[in-house]
Structure 1
Amino acid sequence: MTSGISSLANTAATKTSSTGTSAQEIAGNFTQFLTLLTTQLKNQNPLDPMDTNQFTQQLVQFAGVEQQLKTNDRLDNILTSSKAASSATATSYIGKSITADGSAADLTSGGSANWNLNASRAASKAVVSILDSKSNVVGTQTIALTAGSQTFTWNGRTASGISAPAGTYTIKVAAQDATGASVTVDTSTSGTVDEVDLSGSTPVLLIGKQRVPLSSVQTVGLSTTAG
C-alpha cells in the first residue's frame, strides 16, 4: 500500500512538469492518494504502524504540486492580460505619425526615402551608404553633419543614376570630425502607422511594408497626412 501511495505522489510531481498536465489530473491523483492513505491508516497493524514521516513527506509533496499549479495559472493570467494591454496600446498607434529607432526606411515608386540622423557632434565628412534588402550598396553620398538631429533624404537614384525599385532600404553612416576622429550618428525613421501585426508574441507596427517593433518607437504625434 505504501508503495502505491509513493507511486501516486511521484506521478503527480512528474506530470506537473509536463506541458500537457491538467489540474483535473492532479486533483484526481490527490483524491486517490488520500483514499489510499485513509484506508491504510484504518487497517494498519497496531504492532507495526506505518512510517508517519513517509506519508507526511508525500502530503507535503502534493501540497507543493498544488501550489505550483496555482502559480502557473496566475502567471498565465498575467501574461494574457499583459498581451491584451500591449495589443490595445499598439492599435492606438494606427493613423499616428511616429519616429522609431532604426536604419530601415521605405522607398515608394518614383519617390524618396527619409531618415533622421542624430550626430553626437559636428562631422565635416559623413559617408552615407544606402543598401538594398540583400545588403548591396546601391548608392553613396558624402555630406557634412551638424551636431544634433537632422533629416537625410535619398532621391531614390542609384550610383548609376537610375531609379531604384520600391522597397525597404537601409542606411549606414560613417562620420568623422575635422580632426579625423569618428563621430557617432544614430539613425531613426518616421512615418504614419498603417496597421498593426498582432500575430507574433509582441505587436509590430507597419509603415507601408516597413515593420517597426513597438519597443523601438521614440516619439508619437498626430499624422500630417491630409485626410
Structure 2
Amino acid sequence: MEVTAADTTSASQTARTKLSENFDTFLVLLTAQLQNQDPLSPMDSSEFTQQLVQFSQVEQQISTNDNLETLISQQSAAAAALPLSYLGRAALIESSRATLYEEGSARWSYSFEEEPASVTLTVKDSSGRIVYSEEGVAASGAHNFTWDGTKANGEAATPGVYTLSVVALDDAGETVASKVNVMELVTGVDFTSGAPRIVTSSGSHDLEDVLGVLDAS
C-alpha cells in the first residue's frame, strides 16, 4: 500500500485534534478531583502524573509523524522532478516496443547472459501479426538489430509501433533468457496513473524500466 503525504497529514491532524480534546477533558476532571478531594486523605499524585507522561509520549509520536509528512512530501517532489529531467533526452529502456518511422527503420538491442545455440528474431505489428523474422546472433552479450521496415513478403510496413520477440535455445532445446532494449526520445511524462511514467513514440514506460538517459544529439 502506497502512503502519500496527504494520508499522513490527515492522520496527524486528526490525532493532534483528538489529543487536544482528551487533554482538555483530563484537565477538567483533574481540577474537579483536586477541588473535591478529602483534605485528610489527599489524592495519590502518581496516577495523574503517569497520565501526563502518556500525553507527552503521544505528543512526541505526533511530532514524529509531522516529520514523516515532511519527508514524504520531499520524496514525492523529488520523484516527480526526476522524470521531468528526462524530457528531450534519449532513454535506454527495457522494452520490446520500437517505432518504425516513415522512410526510416526500427532499432532494438537484445542480450543474453548465457550463450545460446540458436536465436530467432520476430517482428510483430500492433495486432500481434508476424511481419518479419530472421536469425539472430547466437552469442552471449549484447547485439543490435535494425529492421528497415520491409516485411517478409517484400512489402513496406506501415509506420508505427512494432514489437520484437527473441526466442533463444541452447543445445538441449531449452530456452535461454534474453533481454530486449530500445533507445528512444522522451517526449512527455504521464502522471495520470499515480506513479510517473515517461512517454516516448512507442508508448509510456515505468521509470524502473529506464536503464539510462543520454542527452539527445
Scaled by the length of structure 1, the TM-score of the pair is 0.71
* Cα distance in 1 between the residues matched to 2:116 and 2:167: 10
Shift of 1:91: 1.4
Report 1:174-213 matches (<5 A): 174-177=167-170, 180-213=173-206
Q: Is the 8 A contact 1:106 1:210 kept in 2?
A: no
**Which residue is 2:130 aligned to?**
138
**C-alpha offsets along residues 198-218 of structure 1, whole Å, 9 cap, x if unaligned?**
444432211125212222221
What residue ranges of structure 1 are gaps of 5+ in the alignment?
Answer: 1-16
Report the number of matched residues. Answer: 208
Corresponding position of 2:216: 223
Instruction: For residue 136 of structure 2, give the secondary structure of its aligned residue in structure 1.
Output: strand
TM-score (norm 2): 0.74
Q: Which residue of 2 aligns with 1:148?
A: 141
Q: 2 CA distance for matches of 1:157 and 1:19?
A: 61
Letter in 2 for 1:39: A
Q: Distance in 1 between matches of 2:52 and 2:142?
A: 65
Give the aligned residue type for 2:201: G
Contact 1:106 1:166 in 2 (8 A): yes
Identity across matched positions, percent: 35
The within-5 A match list for 1:24-39 is 24-39=17-32
Change in CA separation of 1:106 and 1:59 when aligned onto 2, cut-off 3 Å: farther
Structure 2 counterpart of 1:194, which letter?
A: T
Which residue of 2 is the match for residue 5 of structure 1? none
Task: Tell me the SS of whatever aligns to 1:21.
Answer: helix
Q: 1:91 aligns with which of 84, 91, 98?
A: 84
Please, which of 8, 13, 23 is the counterpart of residue 16 of structure 2?
23
Q: How does 1:122-133 map to 2 (within 5 A)?
A: 122-131=115-124
Where structure 2 has 5 or more consecutive residues not aligned to the other structure, the ranges are 1-9
Displacement of 1:163 after TM fit?
A: 5.7
Q: How does 1:76-87 map to 2 (within 5 A)?
A: 76-87=69-80
- 1:80 Cα shift? 0.8
Tell me which residue corresponds to 2:58.
65
Deviations 1:66-100 (A, max 9, x none): 23322222111111101112222221111111102
Cα distance change, pair 73–144 in 1 and its aligned pair in 2 (3 A): same
Please name the residue that 2:38 is paired with.
45
